Amino acid sequence: MTDTLKTYSPIDNSLYLERPFAKDKEIEFALACALKAKKQWANTPLAVRERYCNLAVDVLVANKEEIAWEICWQMGRPIRYAAGEINGLEERARYMISAAKEALAPLTLPAKTGFIRYIKREPLGLAFVIAPWNYPYLTAVNSIIPALMAGNVVLLKHSAQTPLVAERFAQAFKEANLPEGVFQYLDLTHPDTEKVLKHPAINHVAFTGSVAGGGMVERATAGSFLSIGLELGGKDPGYVRFDADIDKAVEALMDGAFFNSGQSCCGIERIYVHKNIYDRFLGKAVSLVMQYKLGRPDDPETTLGPLVRPSAAEFVRAQIQEALTQGAVAHIDPQKFIWDKPGSAYMAPQILTEVNHEMRIMTEETFGPVVGIMPVDSDEEAISLMNDSKYGLTATVFTQDIEAGIAIGEQLDTGTFFINRCDYLDPALAWAGVKHSGRGCTLSSIGYEVLTRPKSFHLKTGD
């Protein structure tokens, strides 16, 4: 086991940065600091917590351009889009800060003679946040800001691919003068992460990552009765009805499939199109994708960057090749994208047809720049295929008949349902998954429920 964390940039596979992993004494010290700060922070007035959190967000926003370059070099997001992540962070953070007062207010009950009854929401204590690299600030802020606003202290373990994100959060809270021990981060090995998960100081775990990673969290915490939130994988479907605006559907779904090189838990990975418009949709989709520019993400002209590492690209290529041997048809010539090189993290986008649910490309999470498209005869067939998945994070329907779209959405096994859009998190709405896409909830006022516990007050005031 190496003593240092090494981050290799997907841009050129160079060593971008190196950090020492936390030692046992550093881990114990961080946990002790969190425990020391826990009670004082829980008793800190909400307005004061709000001030600290807003100041930290101000710092991150002020450093947006520098952070964008760090995102670009750490995980390969094209620089033309990288700053948008901090815009999204600010939107989510400000909303959750503003929602806290109402969400955390005591619940009052109808008057009952001789009694006072109410329910308070108390913080859980120490929240251990484990965040991934693909949207490194957005996934982290979903848990960090609400946890702090709810009165919890936070320990962050970020991905080894994006360690500067944890450092940026720490610097922002330091400049906001957040009390010591309230927010901390550690660079941890996998074994040490499991040790922290099992530590009695931990009261809540917020994990975003793979299904396999979620299984590790559940095994490590089994029998501890911890509060656990898991945001895991997806194989998110889109359905284009016969009455859809084809141009808008193509634009939204191709962006949903290929933005961030398809490395999104809620990205579009399979599309079902009514047979009456299938050919027109497919032609427009191929034409649009052929306009993407694959290249170094530090080039402002690039619209499609590399995957996070060469092994990730090889996994996606293997899924595509397997589908082709099973009868799928590829519509994009990789040779048209000169940066596509087997063995590298750079790979061309791909659209596959003649696919079916016997193929992994339509059933298992791909997490790369490829999408399968199937024609369907009816809404009923589309619903059946969309539900034929072990995942359930988001699903979308493109239609001009909103009532018909809602009727479809009510039959889908999904955490979020869209009409005429996809791949977006509105912080006012609960972010949750079903089946293998996870459990628990972040964002919205409901997101505060998993970060607090109810405490009932039943007071008899007279006979």
Instruction: Find out whether 433 and 231 touch, Cβ atoms under 8 Å.
Output: yes
* Structure tokens, 77: 């997001």
Q: What pLDDT, on the 0 to 100 scale, is given for residue 345?
A: 97
Contacts of 241 (CB under 8 A, 6+ apart): 274, 379, 382, 397, 398, 399, 401, 404, 405
Of 62, 28, 50, nearest to 178 by C-alpha is: 50
- Spatial strand order of the sheet with 183-185 comes to 183-185, 153-157, 126-130, 204-208, 227-231, 438-439
Instruction: Find out whether 151 and 126 touch, Cβ atoms under 8 Å.
Output: no
β-strand pairing of 350-353 with 370-376 = parallel
Helix 46-62, helix 84-103: angle, nearest 10: 170
Q: Which residue spans of the chain are classified as CATH 3.40.605.10?
A: 4-233+437-460
Q: Any catalytic annotation for residue 91?
A: no
Contacts of 94 (CB under 8 A, 6+ apart): 54, 57
Interval 331-355: pLDDT, tens: 999 999 999 999 999 999 999 999 9
Q: What pLDDT, on the 0 to 100 scale, is given for residue 2?
A: 76
What is d(CA 432, CA 440) in angstroms, rounded to the nearest whole number? Answer: 6
Q: Which residue spans of the chain are classified as CATH 3.40.309.10?
A: 236-419
Taking the model in full, what pTM does it have?
Answer: 0.97
Phi and psi (nearest 5°) for 114?
Answer: 85, 5
Q: Is the pLDDT score of 423 beyond 90?
A: no
The stretch 118-123 carries a mean pLDDT of 98
Chain-centre distance of CA 180, in angstroms?
28
* Structure tokens, 206: 């917020």
Taken as a whole, the chain contains a residue count of 463
Interval 385-407: pLDDT, tens: 999 999 999 999 999 999 999 99
β-strand pairing of 391-392 with 434-435 = antiparallel
What is d(CA 56, CA 125) in angstroms, rounded to the nearest whole number? Answer: 21
Q: What percent of the chain has pLDDT over 90?
A: 98
Q: What pLDDT, on the 0 to 100 scale, is given for residue 462?
A: 80
Instruction: Find out whether 126 and 202 touch, Cβ atoms under 8 Å.
Output: yes
Which amino acid makes up residue 74? Q
Q: Is the pLDDT score of 1 beyond 90?
A: no
**Residue 454: is it exposed, middle or buried by C-beta count within 10 angstroms (0-12/13-18/19+)?**
exposed
The stretch 30-55 carries a mean pLDDT of 98
What is d(CA 47, CA 40) in angstroms, rounded to the nearest whole number? Answer: 15
Instruction: Find out whether 21 and 3 touch, Cβ atoms under 8 Å.
Output: yes
Interval 260-299: pLDDT, tens: 999 999 999 999 999 999 999 999 999 999 999 999 999 9
Inter-CA distances, 236 with 208, 363, 372, 377, 413, Å: 17, 10, 11, 20, 11
What is d(CA 36, CA 276) in angstroms, rounded to the nearest whole number? Answer: 65
Chain-centre distance of CA 286, in angstroms?
27
Per-residue HEC secondary structure of 401-455 comes to: CHHHHHHHHCCCCCCEEEECCCCCCCCCCCECCEECCEECCECCHHHHHHHEEEE
Of 84, 133, 68, 85, nearest to 345 by C-alpha is: 133
Topology of domain 4-233+437-460, CATH: Aldehyde Dehydrogenase; Chain A, domain 1 (3.40.605)
Topology of domain 236-419, CATH: Aldehyde Dehydrogenase; Chain A, domain 2 (3.40.309)
Catalytic residue among 70, 85, 231, 365, which?
231
What is d(CA 371, CA 394) in angstroms, rounded to the nearest whole number? Answer: 15
Q: Which long-range contacts (CB under 8 A, 24 or more apart) does 411-417 make?
A: 411/383, 411/387, 412/383, 412/386, 412/387, 413/387, 413/389, 416/266
Q: Is the pLDDT score of 206 beyond 70?
A: yes
Q: What percent of the chain has pLDDT over 70?
A: 100
* Structure tokens, 88: 């999204």
Q: Is the pLDDT score of 460 beyond 60?
A: yes
* Structure tokens, 273: 């199109």
Mean pLDDT, the chain, rounded, equals 97
Q: Is the pLDDT score of 18 beyond 90?
A: yes
Q: What pLDDT, on the 0 to 100 scale, is given for residue 299?
A: 98
Q: Is the pLDDT score of 254 beyond 70?
A: yes
